[in-house]
């Protein structure tokens, strides 16, 4: 039986606890009441049972609003056509990357959070997508554009905005501050009150907001309310780990940052049950895991370490690093899960591989990706040096070969990468350019002079339809096989995001793990040949129960002799199941 809904007094009490920690000098009772007023018209509801938050049928597509364009239609309508025509039977949720007016970083320097970029469409198109798919939207919460009205007001010394931005003194101890960029942290800015130095974690066009001011928090709660009204049901808290700043610290993952997330969780759980929070924290694995909190922060966290480790394994044929990592991953707490992805609008983050891959292994990965047309972005370290921050490359092109060079197994290697991702504990997420086997966009890099443009291609709708309609096209071949496997996955309860997972230890070069449905009625042995050679698998290594009938859900092959050896072709994957 589901617990009864809270009343507003219970929500008020919870808010007072959050506020008392975040703003000890504020009147917690009054500020909590102000937060409740933001959600005036929303009433506390019955919480959604945990088993209804997600299922094996869930799969996410990540896309920009204008990843597919048609001169005769606004991009969000073209996106809707693509979704309904090609992926409606394969994905349940869509992450439309920042769709607000912006000034840089392809949407992550937001000018106005309350509007949809008119070049994409309007709220009508956003709401239409949300009616057919679970819609995920970004809350770019750490910073906003220097062209925003808030920042213009900051410069003028008027509200709203006069006290919205993080300032620092030149003499402050900022030596430990963690940065994802090599640009100067502080931006000198002339204001009505004289020269000020504002904090810019990412770029000088992306000015950091000051959440020490509760008015900033209230503004973002108003944005969340607006998005809920427009049908958004999944919120991606972008770069949230940087949120709270305190000179003399790393300014990463501070306790106040976690408390802000808890406060947001309190209001969304109360007023919009079923709403999911996803924290975007591209950091080493042990830091990332803290964002589950005590099941009171993120419902979902990105599995950032998967991409670099999986790519390393497929390019080298070595599985020990991938196995070691997956064995160390704890099952997600009840009511929580992982978001598994191998590519996104950003590059392949290398920070999550720190401590997992040696410097030599990382360097080999960098050199290999460069040979396949990729690029590399760096970050500034506390001692003034630089380290690799991310690899910028189309994932499909990253699979052109191995550390030995190019070969003929690009499609098979790529399909293997996506099949591994689909089988793991958590919800799989496909970047649109992985689904479409899009190549490196070197022309985009030349145009923007930004490395990340290499994986942000804009498809012509007519050209895409032509490619997907051509059975000989590599785009069609990859797309059809991926969506086929996605649909197979959705029919197997052992792929529930919280189904049991256990790492297997077959001989090299196999990577294998076992999934079992929550009711224990179904088992699936996920086995992957991580090399360009034909490999012999001993079925006896899997300990298949003799009373069950086993077959490969991907190919349909039956396994009547559980002691035999079978051949796996280069990069072949098996989903061996008992039903």
193 assigned binding-site residue: no
Q: How many CB atoms lie within 10 A of CB 477?
A: 15
- CB neighbour list of residue 372: distance below 8 Å, 6 or more residues apart: 393, 397, 398, 400, 401, 406, 440
Q: Provide the b/e sequence for 13-49 (b: ≥16 CB within 10 Å).
A: ebbbebbebbbeeeebeebbebbbebbeebebeebee
Contact present, 365 and 352 (Cβ < 8 Å): no
Q: Annotation-wise, does 105 bind a ligand?
A: yes
d(CA 244, CA 142): 8
Query: What is the distance between the alpha carbons of residues 233 and 274, in angstroms, rounded to a whole number?
Result: 7
Catalytic (active-site) positions: 238
Helix (H, G, I), strand (E, B) or coil at 82: helix
- Flag whether 215 is marked binding: no
- Residue 172 annotated as part of some ligand binding site: no
Strand ranges for 268-403 from DSSP E: 276-279, 300-302, 337-341, 348-349, 375-380, 386-392, 401-402
Q: At what angle do helices 306-316 and 359-371 cross, to 10 degrees?
A: 70
Its sign, for the CA torsion 448, 452, 457, 458, is negative
CA distance 375 to 73: 33
The Cβ-side half-sphere exposure at 461, using a 13 Å CA radius, reads 20
User: How many other β-carbons are positioned within 10 Å of the β-carbon of residue 90?
Assistant: 20
At residue 421, what are phi and psi to the nearest 5 degrees? Answer: -60, -40
- Whether residue 236 is annotated as binding a ligand: the answer is yes
Contact 285, 352 (CB under 8 A): yes
User: Is 221 annotated for ligand binding?
Assistant: no
Identify each DSSP E strand in 373-509 by its residue range: 375-380, 386-392, 401-402, 405-406, 427-431, 459-460, 500-503
CA distance 212 to 257: 10
CA distance 429 to 569: 26
Q: What are the two backbone dihedrals, phi and then psi, of residue 275, each rounded to the nearest 5 degrees?
A: -65, 135
561 is in an annotated binding site: no
CB 500 within 8 Å of CB 516: yes
CA 511, chain centre distance (Å): 24
- Tell whether 226 is in a known binding site: no
d(CA 57, CA 497): 9
Local structure of residue 241 (DSSP, 8 states)? G
3-state secondary structure of 568: strand
* Known binding-site positions: 105, 143, 236-238, 345-346, 452
* Known binding-site positions for substrate: 105, 143, 236-238, 345-346, 452
């Amino acid at each position: 039986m589901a617990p009864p809904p809270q009343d507003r007094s219970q929500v008020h009490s919870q808010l007072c606890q959050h506020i008392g920690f975040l703003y000890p000098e504020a009147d917690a009772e009054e500020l909590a009441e102000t937060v409740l007023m933001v959600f005036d018209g929303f009433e506390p509801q019955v919480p959604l049972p945990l088993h209804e938050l997600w299922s094996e049928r869930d799969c996410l597509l990540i896309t920009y609003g204008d990843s597919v364009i048609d001169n005769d239609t606004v991009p969000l309508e073209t996106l809707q056509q693509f979704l309904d025509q090609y992926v409606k039977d394969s994905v349940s949720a869509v992450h439309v990357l920042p769709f607000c007016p912006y000034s840089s970083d392809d949407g992550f320097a937001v000018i106005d959070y309350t509007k949809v970029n008119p070049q994409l469409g309007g709220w009508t198109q956003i709401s239409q997508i949300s009616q057919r798919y679970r819609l995920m939207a970004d809350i770019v919460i750490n910073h906003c554009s220097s062209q925003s009205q808030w920042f213009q007001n900051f410069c003028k010394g008027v509200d709203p905005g006069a006290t919205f931005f993080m300032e620092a003194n030149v003499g402050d101890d900022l030596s430990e501050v963690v940065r994802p960029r090599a640009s100067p942290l502080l931006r000198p800015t002339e204001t009505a009150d004289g020269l000020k130095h504002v904090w810019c974690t990412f770029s000088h066009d992306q000015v950091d907001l000051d959440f020490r001011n509760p008015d900033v928090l209230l503004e973002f709660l108003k944005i969340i309310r607006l998005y809920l009204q427009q049908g958004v049901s999944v919120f991606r808290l972008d770069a949230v780990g940087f949120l709270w700043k305190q000179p003399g610290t790393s300014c990463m993952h501070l306790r106040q940052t976690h408390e802000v997330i808890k406060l947001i969780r309190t209001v969304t759980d109360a007023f919009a049950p079923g709403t999911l929070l996803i924290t975007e924290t591209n950091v080493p694995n042990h830091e990332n895991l803290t964002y589950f909190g005590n099941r009171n922060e993120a419902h979902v966290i990105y599995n950032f370490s998967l991409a670099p480790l999986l790519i390393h394994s497929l390019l080298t044929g070595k599985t020990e690093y991938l196995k070691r990592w997956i064995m160390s991953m704890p099952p997600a707490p009840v009511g929580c899960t992982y978001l598994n992805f191998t590519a996104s609008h950003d590059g392949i983050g290398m920070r999550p591989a720190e401590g997992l891959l040696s410097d030599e292994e990382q360097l080999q990965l960098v050199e290999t990706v460069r040979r396949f047309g990729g690029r590399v972005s760096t970050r500034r370290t506390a001692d003034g040096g630089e380290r690799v921050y991310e690899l910028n490359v189309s994932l499909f092109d990253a699979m052109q070969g191995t550390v030995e060079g190019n070969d003929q197994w690009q499609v098979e290697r790529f399909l293997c990468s996506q099949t591994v991702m689909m089988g793991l504990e958590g919800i799989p997420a496909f970047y649109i350019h992985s689904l479409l086997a899009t190549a490196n966009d070197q022309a985009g890099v030349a145009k923007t002079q930004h490395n990340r443009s290499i994986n942000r291609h804009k498809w012509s709708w007519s050209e895409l339809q032509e490619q997907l309609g051509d059975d000989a096209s590599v785009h069609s071949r990859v797309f059809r096989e991926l969506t086929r496997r996605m649909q197979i996955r959705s029919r197997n309860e052992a792929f529930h995001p919280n189904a049991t997972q256990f790492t297997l230890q077959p001989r090299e070069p196999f990577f294998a793990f076992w999934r079992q449905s929550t009711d224990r009625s179904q088992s699936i042995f996920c086995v992957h040949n991580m090399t360009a050679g034909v490999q012999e698998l001993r079925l006896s290594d899997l300990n298949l129960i003799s009373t069950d009938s086993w077959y490969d859900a991907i190919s349909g092959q039956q396994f009547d002799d559980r002691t035999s050896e079978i051949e796996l072709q280069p990069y072949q994957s098996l989903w061996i199941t008992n039903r």
